[in-house]
């Protein structure tokens, strides 16, 4: 039931994490699309502004070059009949009126000629935000228009009409491009001649014009590669969105891994509680039965029976003491490194003593420890009590989990400046997915709530802590022919 509940919680948390990441991704996607659309609208406006601004600029330039400049250069000797209007078909009377109107305006605004010359000699696009100067340009434009001249260059349908100021299509495109360059807009513009019947896609960026011949609007200019340009413009937002989604995804993965770790710890804790409860119940129950027997039948029992009961109680109490001591020692060492009594020992002699001791203990079970010593003397500085406890615990594990006819081998050798001690057996081994987890606190290879093998998942964890204090290492691996091998490495 507990495992089913944990699985359901895990599934629910996974769904919540994925849903939150999807919602964030959708929001970021919507935000990027909004940024793209906003920049697209801005680009559309900039293109139209550059197009129409180039039109007015060219008209003002032609008014200045064709009419105003000759008048400024010869204000006293100019004659309307001789002024060069660059092949503009305009009646002499109208020419005279244009010249007279401009002369009169320039005489009443003495600073304008100098400002005009400075303005048109500067680099294009020119910016002059003086109100009086802008007013002067508008006045000159209105004088020319009032006398019958026109200069709307984005209407090529009427560019060959009479009274039209000179039109230079290449120059008009140059002015338009310079305005885009000043704003850093790098796009390709495709131009269309008059009387075209092309219908632009509303999603594209284009400029239309009014055709006086057809009395309808038509395509004048179309921007081709605006998508790549816009993607470059919003590249910082794209990078920000990518970093944001990456960080949140990393945070979710990190959180999920932490959750899985916590869930595994909960399962291990549950198994540990089940196992240690079982371990505690047996000696408590045995001691309780013995004490009850002594209390109920002690007066009638003989001395030998009483001694047996007391020996039973003592044995179970020692077992309880061993259990609690093991848990407390593990917690103490895990919290703070303990002072170890390091002595320089000959590991060959050390191993012989352990093998002899284990063989005597397990003689009744028919279990013998095979000893393979190092050919050369093997000296290392170790805490004899702790290391002996680690090696004996490994042998006990081989006996517990090795099954019938278990064979244990204790082997010593030197490798890469390290003294190596290995405990191996011919048992079933450890499932591959648990090889790196057997040294975790409270971990036992999952077997449900079965307690056919006693233990509480602290022995190998304690061994790992001991080897850390010796600046050594412990490693578990499965053998090809069956069984597993634990190797301890110490600095020589």
pLDDT at 87: 52
| Position 14 pLDDT exceeds 70 | yes
| Position 410 pLDDT exceeds 60 | yes
CB 279 within 8 A of CB 323: yes
As a whole number of angstroms, the distance between CA 246 and CA 253 comes to: 10
| Position 418 pLDDT exceeds 50 | yes
Residues 352 and 478 in one domain: yes
Residues 6 and 143 in one domain: yes
Domain final residue pick, 176, 210, 233: 233
Strands 216-223 vs 205-211: parallel, antiparallel or unpaired: antiparallel
Residues 201 and 279 in one domain: no
Residues 110 and 244 in one domain: no
Residues 270 and 127 in one domain: no
Cα maximum dimension of the chain: 155
Residues 61 and 194 in one domain: yes
CA torsion sign, 377 to 380 to 384 to 390?
A: negative
Residues 224 and 250 in one domain: no
What mean pLDDT comes out for the span 414-430? 90
As a whole number of angstroms, the distance between CA 98 and CA 441 comes to: 101
Q: What is the CATH number of the domain that holds 457?
A: 3.30.565.10
User: Cis peptide before 125, with omega less than 30 degrees from 0?
Assistant: yes
Residues 367 and 427 in one domain: yes
What mean pLDDT comes out for the span 114-140? 86
Residues 273 and 399 in one domain: no
Q: Which residue has the higher pLDDT, 93 or 206?
A: 206
Q: What stretch of H or E contains 369?
A: strand 369-372
Judged by average pLDDT, the poorest of 64-73, 111-120, 187-196, 445-454 is: 445-454
Q: What stretch of H or E contains 475?
A: strand 473-478
For residue 461, which of 485, 444, 448, 482 has the smallest C-alpha distance?
A: 444
What mean pLDDT comes out for the span 251-280? 72
What mean pLDDT comes out for the span 151-159? 51
Domain final residue pick, 213, 233, 253: 233
pLDDT at 44: 95
Residues 158 and 105 in one domain: yes
User: How many structural domains does the chain have?
Assistant: 3
As a whole number of angstroms, the distance between CA 298 and CA 432 comes to: 54
The token duo for 177 is 């491009």
Residue 457's contacts (CB-CB under 8 Å, 6 or more residues apart) are 268, 271, 272, 275, 440, 441, 442, 443, 444
pLDDT at 227: 93
pLDDT at 272: 62
The whole domain housing 259 covers 236-335
Residues 167 and 306 in one domain: no
Reported confidence tier of residue 226, pLDDT bands at 50, 70, 90: very high
Residues 229 and 268 in one domain: no
Residue 256's contacts (CB-CB under 8 Å, 6 or more residues apart) are 13, 14, 17
**Model confidence, pTM:** 0.57
CB 320 within 8 A of CB 313: no
Domain final residue pick, 210, 233, 256: 233
As a whole number of angstroms, the distance between CA 68 and CA 103 comes to: 9
Q: Which residue has the higher pLDDT, 41 or 162?
A: 41
Reported confidence tier of residue 453, pLDDT bands at 50, 70, 90: very low
Task: For residue 128, give Cα distances in angstroms to 133, 326, 344, 353.
Answer: 7, 90, 93, 102
What mean pLDDT comes out for the span 107-113? 87
As a whole number of angstroms, the distance between CA 418 and CA 349 comes to: 17
Task: For residue 465, give Cα distances in angstroms to 158, 411, 419.
Answer: 94, 22, 18
As a whole number of angstroms, the distance between CA 82 and CA 24 comes to: 74
Q: 108-117, 266-275, 396-405 — which one is most confidently predicted on average? A: 108-117
CB 140 within 8 A of CB 105: yes
């Amino acid at each position: 039931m507990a495992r089913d509940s944990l699985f359901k919680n895990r599934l629910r948390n996974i769904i919540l994490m994925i849903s939150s990441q999807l919602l964030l991704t959708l929001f970021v996607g919507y935000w990027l699309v909004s940024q793209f659309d906003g920049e697209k609208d801005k680009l559309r406006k900039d293109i139209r502004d550059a197009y129409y601004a180039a039109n007015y600029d060219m008209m003002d330039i032609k008014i200045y070059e064709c009419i105003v400049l000759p008048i400024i250069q010869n204000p006293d000797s100019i004659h309307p009949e001789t002024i060069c209007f660059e092949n503009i078909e305009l009646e002499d009377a109208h020419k005279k009126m244009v010249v007279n109107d401009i002369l009169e305006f320039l005489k009443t605004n003495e600073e304008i000629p100098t400002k005009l010359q400075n303005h048109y000699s500067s680099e294009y696009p020119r910016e002059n935000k003086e109100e009086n100067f802008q007013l002067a340009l508008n006045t000159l434009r209105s004088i020319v228009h009032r006398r019958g001249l026109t200069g709307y260059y984005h209407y090529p349908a009427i560019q060959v009409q009479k009274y039209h100021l000179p039109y230079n299509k290449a120059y008009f495109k140059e002015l338009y491009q310079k305005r885009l360059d000043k704003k850093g807009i790098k796009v390709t513009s495709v131009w269309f001649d008059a009387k075209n019947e092309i219908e632009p896609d509303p999603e594209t960026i284009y400029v239309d014009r009014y055709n006086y011949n057809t009395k309808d609007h038509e395509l004048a200019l179309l921007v081709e590669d605006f998508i790549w340009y816009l993607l470059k413009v919003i590249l910082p937002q794209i990078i920000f969105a990518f970093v944001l989604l990456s960080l949140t995804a990393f945070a979710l993965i990190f959180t999920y891994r932490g959750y899985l770790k916590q869930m595994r710890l909960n399962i291990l804790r549950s198994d540990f509680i089940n196992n240690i409860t079982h371990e505690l119940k047996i000696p408590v129950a045995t001691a309780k039965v013995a004490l009850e027997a002594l209390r109920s039948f002690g007066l009638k029992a003989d001395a030998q029976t009483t001694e047996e009961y007391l020996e039973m109680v003592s044995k179970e109490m020692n077992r309880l003491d061993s259990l609690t001591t093991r848990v407390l020692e593990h917690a103490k060492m895990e919290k703070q490194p303990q002072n170890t009594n390091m002595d320089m020992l000959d590991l060959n002699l050390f191993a012989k003593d352990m093998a002899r001791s284990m063989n005597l203990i397990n003689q009744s079970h028919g279990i013998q420890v095979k000893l393979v010593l190092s050919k050369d003397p093997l000296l290392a500085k170790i805490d004899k009590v702790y290391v002996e406890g680690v090696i004996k615990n490994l042998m006990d594990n081989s006996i517990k989990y090795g099954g019938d006819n278990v064979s244990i081998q204790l082997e010593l050798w030197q490798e890469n400046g390290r003294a190596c001690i290995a405990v191996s057996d011919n048992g079933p081994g450890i499932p591959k997915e648990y090889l790196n987890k057997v040294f975790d606190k409270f971990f036992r290879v999952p077997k449900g709530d079965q307690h056919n093998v006693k233990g509480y998942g602290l022995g190998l964890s304690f061994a790992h802590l001991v080897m850390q204090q010796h600046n050594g290492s412990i490693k578990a691996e499965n053998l090809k022919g069956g069984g597993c091998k634990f190797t301890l490495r110490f600095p020589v």
